[in-house]
Amino acid sequence: MSDSAPDARFPINLAAPLSHEIIEAVSIYLGPVIGFFLGFAFGVGCALAVMYSIFLGGYRAAVRDAQLPIPPERFLKAQKKQRVRE
């Protein structure tokens, strides 16, 4: 067998460049990956960030209300409800 003859076990298609085949293969999966990131990861991440900031704001307000010398009416009602449940 000479060095210039192509090996029959590994056919080579020289008509289609390798980069074109790679781009076609990657483009099949690229759309769903971008859609997943924008729709799920980015969307859920933003929603969690908003909910966390609201939670922290409410927590800070509750701690501040609990430390007041005269607690607000709403705080006293919540304490009363909690005592009834126990």
pLDDT of residue 12: 59
Q: Which amino acid is at 18?
A: L
Q: pLDDT 10s digit of each residue in the chain, 86 long?
A: 555 555 556 565 555 566 666 667 777 788 888 888 888 888 888 888 888 988 888 888 888 888 889 988 988 898 899 998 87
Domain holding 25, by residue range, is: 18-85
CA–CA separation, 78 vs 86, rounded Å?
Answer: 13
CA–CA separation, 28 vs 46, rounded Å?
Answer: 27
Q: Is residue 6 part of a domain?
A: no
How many structural domains are present in the chain? Answer: 1
Q: Is residue 78 part of a domain?
A: yes
pLDDT of residue 18: 65
CA–CA separation, 41 vs 36, rounded Å?
Answer: 7
Q: Is residue 12 part of a domain?
A: no
pLDDT of residue 43: 85
Q: Is residue 13 part of a domain?
A: no
Q: Is residue 27 part of a domain?
A: yes
First to last CA, the chain: 91
Q: Is residue 7 part of a domain?
A: no
Q: Is residue 63 part of a domain?
A: yes
pLDDT of residue 16: 55
Indicate the pTM of the whole model: 0.39
